[in-house]
Amino acid sequence: MCTAGYFASRARAQVDGDVRDFFRTIEELAGIPKTRIRPTNDSPFVRLEEDGQRHLRLLRWGLVPAWSKTEKFPYPTYNARAETVTEKATFREPFRRRRGLMTWISYVEWRDEQGAKIPYEFSLASGEPIAFAGLWDRWGSGDSAFESCTMITCEPNDLAAPYHDRMPVILQPEDFDGWMDPKSDPKDLLALLRPLPAEQMVAVPANPDDFKRPSSKTKKPETAQPPPASLFDF
Structure confidence by residue, pLDDT tens digits, 140-159 = 998 889 999 999 999 999 99
Is the model's pLDDT at 216 over the cut of 60?
A: no
Residues 11-38, mean pLDDT to the nearest whole number: 68
> pTM of this prediction?
0.86
- According to CATH, the topology of domain 7-233 is hypothetical protein yedk fold (3.90.1680)
CA gap 143, 151 in Å, rounded: 26
How far, in Å, CA of 99 to CA of 32, rounded?
A: 23
**Residue 62, burial from CB neighbour count under 10 angstroms (0-12, 13-18, 19+):** buried
Give the confidence band of 19 by pLDDT, cuts at 50, 70, 90: confident
User: With 60 as the cut, is the pLDDT of residue 214 above it?
Assistant: no
Q: How many CA atoms lie within 13 A of 142 on its CB side?
A: 0
Kindly state the average pLDDT of the residues 125-136: 94
Comparing 95 with 17, the larger pLDDT belongs to: 95
**Predicted confidence (pLDDT) at residue 194 exceeds the cutoff of 70:** yes
d(CA 11, CA 34): 6
Dihedral sign for Cα 160, 38, 95, 24, please. negative
Contacts of 95 (CB under 8 A, 6+ apart): 80, 85, 86, 135, 186, 189
Structural domain boundaries of the chain? 7-233
pLDDT value of position 30 = 61
DSSP one-letter string for 33-82: PPSS--TTSEEEEEEE-TTSSEEEEEEEES---TT-SSSS-SS--SEEET
Which sign does the torsion angle of CA 43, 44, 45, 49 carry?
positive
pLDDT above 80: residue 225: no
